[in-house]
Structures are given as C-alpha cells and as structure tokens.
Amino acid sequence: MDTVTLSLALIVLMLVVLSTGVWIALALAVIGYVALVSISSAQPITVLATSVWQSSISWDLTALPMFIWMGEILYRTKLSEDLFEGLAPWLQRLPGRLLHVNIAGCTVFAAVSGSSAATCATIGRIALPELKKRGYDERLAIGTLAGAGTIGLMIPPSIIMIVYAAATDQSIARLFIAGVIPGMLLAALFMGFVIVWALMNRSRMPAPEPAQSFGNRFKATGRLIPVIGLIFGVIGSIYGGLASATEAAVVGVVLALVLSAVMGTLTWDGFRDALLGATRTSAMIAFILAGAAFLTIAMGFTGIPRALAEWITAMNLTKWQLLIALTLFFILLGCFLDGISMIVLTTSIIMPLVERAGFDLIWFGIYLVLVVEMAQITPPVGFNLYVLQGMTGKNIFSIGLYALPFFLLMMTAVALIAIFPEIALWLPSTMLDAK
C-alpha cells in the first residue's frame, strides 16, 4: 500500500473511530496499530510499550498535574468574587463599563489557572449574574466571557503550552514568557471591540453606576492583592530565574492552599474534591499523550510525515500559503476536537512541515495556542460553549454566534503575530537570551 492511499485510509479510519465516541487516547492507539501492521514489520506491542514509557517519564510533565491542582483549588475559593469587586470600580468609566470586567477578570485569572474552561467557569459564575442584574446586553455579556475565557490558554501558566512543549521538546519557560504579550494583545482587542460596540449602541447600555471616590476605588483594589500575590509568586519565580516551570507549579499549589486557608474556604471536602478533580484531568491528559506518542512513532515507521512533507514541498507553497492552509485546517479540526487532542493528533504530522518551512518552534507554539483558542468557541465541540450552556441554558449554536466577533478578533491576532513575529519572540529573547 502506498503512503497516499494509507494516509487517506487512516484519516477515514480516524474519523470513523472518533465518531463512535471512543476515548481519544484509544482512537490514537488504534490508528497507530493499524498503521504499523499495514506497512511495517515492527512489533506493535513493543512499540506501544516503548512509546508509552518514553511519553510518561518527561520531567517537564510534572508541572501539568500541579498547575491543574492549583486551578482546582482556586476554583473553590472566593477569588472570582474578589476579582469582580476589585476591578469593577476602575473599569466602569470606560465605554462598555462592567463588560470589561469579564475580559480583565479572565485575563488576570488566566495567570493562576492555565485552563480556558476553568477561567470561563470561574469568572462567569460571578460576572454573568451581576451583569444580568444590572441590565447589560446578555448576548455581549455571554460573548465576551466566551472569548475572554480562551485567554486562559495563552497567559502562563498554560496547560496546553506544557502539552505542546512535551510533544515538541521545547522549553516550557520560554513558551510561558512568549505567551504574555499575545495574551495582552488578545485582551486589548477584545476590550477595544467592547468600547466600539458600546459607543455605537448607547441605547442598549444600562444607566451608569454611581460615581465612586478615589478612596473607595483604592479600597476595593485591596481585594486584588491575593491574586496579584499568587501571580507574582508563580510567574515571578519563573521569570526571575528562581524556579523552573515545574518547581513554580509546586509553589503555586502551596500558595493556592495558603490563600484558600486565609479565605476560609479550605475544607477537607474541598481539598479532596480539588485533588480528585486534578487527578482525573491529569490522568485523561496523560492517557491522550501516551496514545499520541504511540501514533507519532507509528507514523515514523510508515514514512507518512516524510512523504507529506515532500508532497507539500513539491507544491512550492510559500510560508504564508502554508500558514493559511494550516490555519484553515486547525479551524476545521477545532469543530470536532478539543485543544489538547488537536495538538497531540497533529504534531507528529505537521512538525516536519513547520521545521522545513523555517518557522521558529516557539513562535509556532504561540500560533498553535491561538488557533486552539479559536476551537474553544467553535460549535459543536467548543469547551467554553458547553461551560456557558450549563450556566445560561442557551443553545450552544446561539452562544457560538454571540462569540463570533471574538473568533474574528482571534483571526486578527493570528494575522498580527504572523506579520510581526516579534510579538511572541521579543520577550523571551530579551529576558532569557540576555542572561
């Protein structure tokens, strides 16, 4: 069987297996097994054992369950309430007023969460009822939360960046630093859209809140101290060279436990639920990575990645054409797969193309996170849409429509980092290469 026929057969098989609802990890393993027995004499069981072992011994992956656990602990605190009350007095003078709290709150919480769905759920459970009570446009309130929640994947510590780093053997710390400016760019684009919308739809905005004195605003800011301290503790230890990403994850867990205890939310039941939630999520991701590692090695035996790279090369696509093709590919893929599955499914196939095209792999990681963020708000599998459906009872396609402007703004961000790659590369080169 030639590689083209095999590639098409494997794609069809993958779609069939995924459509049955089989776990992603098992689907990956099935595809890898079929690929091996179809074209290679290698022993599938031996390859499976070796690849699973190699995928599970990476020291960098230790940070993954720690950051997930930190997010689970913080989810059970009053942190989101403090964020809303601390940010609201400063943002209510901007056009759009408290709608900006969704965006700013998600951006800040992203720095202590690492998860898009967790960021969306945590900020949404406080912000949405408050915005509805005060008469803000429900569609825009839901849309801003859906879009801004995706920033949880870009602002470090990002779980999906750890997965990409493990899959491509890149530096987690460098990826974390590279995500800061693009994350701020996304927040600025979202807030800019809200300002323009509010100015053009003054009749749909509620009456302004009573003006607060500077003293009251300053007092409210005190509620931001815990989350700011946590951000400095986790991210500052990485940027300052005091801890690796893995060590900083442990620092984050300790600080989260201390913060929860100070807030009075640290109970035995909460501790147990947070630990079990982190264990389930970490095990799921580890299982997917193991299946992806097996598929990656199986793909190497078949020669499909090399043949695909040669085929793309023969088409003489420019870097821009390749990037456009990859963007369209990931947008389509995002309609059916979650972000982690997208990365582990595709890295073994596309990385040879990316390297041959000359893309910086740190920059490509940021680009990949951006397009994966877009997948979080694309029906029918966008995780943020499901989170908001559970909160609002709205149809998932309606929520996707509310989030459409923010999807287009993410496309704008993709174009900006493609035209100006230093948006992603300047900060890590300044902070790390200078040392």
d(CA 426, CA 435): 14
What pLDDT, on the 0 to 100 scale, is given for residue 380? 64
d(CA 143, CA 191): 12
Residue 157, preceding bond cis, omega within 30 degrees? yes
Can you read off the two tokens belonging to residue 31?
A: 């595809």
CA torsion angle 106 107 112 116 (round to 10): 60
User: pLDDT averaged over consecutive 10-residue blocks of the chain (435 residues)?
Assistant: 65 72 75 76 74 67 77 76 79 85 85 74 79 88 91 83 86 89 94 94 82 74 81 78 77 87 85 87 75 73 65 74 86 71 75 84 93 81 76 84 94 94 91 60
What pLDDT, on the 0 to 100 scale, is given for residue 78? 76
Per DSSP, helices labelled H in 94-224 are 99-110, 116-133, 138-149, 159-168, 172-178, 180-200, 214-221
The burial class, CB within 10 Å (0-12 / 13-18 / 19+), for 300 is: middle
d(CA 366, CA 180): 10
Q: Which residues of 176-191 are buried (b: 16+ CB within 10 A; e: fewer)?
A: bbbbbbbbebbbebbb
| Full-model pTM | 0.75
The burial class, CB within 10 Å (0-12 / 13-18 / 19+), for 12 is: exposed
Domain segments of the chain as ranges: 58-266+303-431
CB atoms within 10 A of CB 339: 28
Question: Residue 72 in 3-state DSSP?
Answer: helix
Sequence-distant (6+) residues with CB within 8 A of 348 are 292, 295, 296, 299, 300, 305
Question: Residue 209 in 3-state DSSP?
Answer: coil
> What are the DSSP calls for 40-67, one per residue?
--S-HHHHHHHHHHHHH--GGGGHHHHH
58, 320 contact by CB (below 8 A): no
Question: In terms of Cα–Cα distance, which of 27, 360, 409, 26 is closest to 194?
Answer: 409
Sequence-distant (6+) residues with CB within 8 A of 19 are none
HEC string for 127-146: HHHHHHHCCCCHHHHHHHHH
Question: In terms of Cα–Cα distance, which of 226, 236, 233 is closest to 261?
Answer: 226
Instruction: Determine the residue type at 403.
Output: A
Question: In terms of Cα–Cα distance, which of 104, 249, 111, 81 is closest to 172?
Answer: 249
